[in-house]
Amino acid sequence: MLPSEPLKPSAAFADILRPTHVEVDLSRLAGNLQAICSHVGTAKVMPVLKANAYGHGLIEVAELMVKLGADYLGAAFLEEGLMLRKQGITTPILILGGLAGEQIPLFLKNSLTLTASSVDKLRLINEAAEALGTQAKVHLKIDTGMERVGVHYYSAEKLLEASLQCHSVEVEGIYSHFANADAADLSHARLQLERFQEVLQFYERRSLPLPLRHMANSAGILQLPESHLDMVRPGIMLYGIYPSPECQRTVAITPALAWRSQVSYFKVVQAGDPISYGSTWQADHPVRVVTIPAGYGDGYFRALSNKAQVLIRGRRYPVAGRVCMDQMMANIEWDSAYNGDPVTLIGTDGNETITADEVANWAGTIPYEVLTNINTRVPRVYVGRS
């Protein structure tokens, strides 16, 4: 279920927000985190907050996760970590993406944990920490089959050996990332996990304590309990969406985001009169058409033109014509709708629900992109505060 009832239009509401807005239910996010924690037992949990917390709002979601006792926070880039630190968040933050050498002092001055993905980057981190007279906290990144970032598993020993010589570096963790843990066939995911375990034998052979081990993304959490190790990294499932249709639903989660707008204009369009740019849609009979002040400039894909549906007064209506930058139209046939009526792009109205998965299918993409594509010019409204 998605947030069930659109906010009612009011004078006060209209004064402060665009009609097009996102509602985020914090109680549902909290419930999802609790469900994940219960499922993974003693493993630590690192909520992943990259890309504006998957469109839900970086700062507000981070503050909720901290309030709920998250062990760690995950972000993609230095800028995201800096934003969190500027808000006074002191919880450990691991930056999962790559880094440029000149950025390293900013990581260290703001107590951000770095990903060391090569011997060269590890040495740069060590040199910067020495120059600042501090200790850098790093997690080593091992590529077990993603071919994106990290030292190859078959070359990893060089990185681990180098880490023992970097005396201004604390290797707090070591991790890898699944490429196919959301598939029905988990053979490649299991091969990746096996490769990661082989790399970890380096510490056993030298009688060294193991760093914090983590590999499980949302799909790993759901489908590969043996991958939970010391910490897990929930991303999309934290926000109430399963990683893929094939992925097992071993944890009950609830979508936390709804995308709303309002009817801004109503007209009767005569038979044969085309609608919107390119004149790609027309009816063979008179229809009532409403305009909605949301478009691809807000992140509602142009690819949804003539394919998507919206909810008005608890009923589904098709998007008619091409989605514009700031507006789109819907055909309500001969039903009634009035200016100011709530419109649901993602979410529930009455007995009908449009999910992010459904929007993704219409657009030929995945729900990750649907959520993270919602532009920051769309206001976020937070409900369900405890």
Residue 246 within a domain: no
Domain range enclosing 42:
26-239
Catalytic residue among 50, 203, 307, 382: 50
187 shares a domain with 57? yes
- Averaged over 91-97, what is the pLDDT? 97
203 CB-near residues (< 8 Å, 6+ apart): 160, 209, 210, 211
120 shares a domain with 264? no
138 shares a domain with 35? yes
287 shares a domain with 164? no
Q: Whole-prediction pTM value? A: 0.94
322 shares a domain with 233? no
Residue 289 within a domain: yes
Angstrom CA distances, 311 to 160, 349, 383, stand at: 55, 7, 20
206 CB-near residues (< 8 Å, 6+ apart): none
Residue 352 within a domain: yes
Residue 262 within a domain: yes
**Whole-number CA gyration radius for the chain:** 24
Residue 197 within a domain: yes
Angstrom CA distances, 342 to 10, 187, 269, stand at: 11, 46, 21
358 shares a domain with 213? no
pLDDT digits (tens, 9 = 90+) for 336-366: 999 999 999 999 999 999 999 999 999 999 9
For the domain that residue 212 is a member of, what is the CATH number?
3.20.20.10
Are 305 and 322 within 8 A, CB to CB? Answer: yes
Residue 184 within a domain: yes
Last residue of a domain, one of 173, 206, 239: 239
Q: How many domains does the chain have?
A: 2
Last residue of a domain, one of 239, 267, 300: 239
334 shares a domain with 219? no
> Among positive and negative, which fits the CA dihedral 224, 69, 139, 60?
positive
CA gap 313, 373 in Å, rounded: 26
pLDDT at 18: 82
Residue 9: count other Cβ atoms within 10 Å of its Cβ: 15
354 shares a domain with 278? yes
**pLDDT surpasses 80 at 5:** no
pLDDT at 385: 86
Residue 20 within a domain: no
For the domain that residue 352 is a member of, what is the CATH number?
2.40.37.10
pLDDT at 356: 98
Residue 245 within a domain: no
290 shares a domain with 377? yes
- Verify whether residue 50 is a known catalytic residue: yes
- Averaged over 261-273, what is the pLDDT? 97
Are 266 and 337 within 8 A, CB to CB? Answer: yes
State the virtual CA torsion across 25, 27, 32, 36 in degrees, nearest 10. Answer: 150
Per-residue confidence at 65, pLDDT binned at 50, 70, 90? very high
377 shares a domain with 326? yes
- Verify whether residue 368 is a known catalytic residue: no
CA angle 368, 374, 379 (to 5 degrees): 135
235 CB-near residues (< 8 Å, 6+ apart): 48, 50, 54, 74, 217, 218
DSSP states of 193-224: HHHHHHHHHHHHHTTPPPPEEEEE-HHHHHH-
CA gap 80, 206 in Å, rounded: 37
CA gap 153, 229 in Å, rounded: 18
**pLDDT surpasses 80 at 47:** yes
- Averaged over 156-162, what is the pLDDT? 98
**pLDDT surpasses 50 at 305:** yes
Catalytic residue among 154, 265, 277, 338: 277
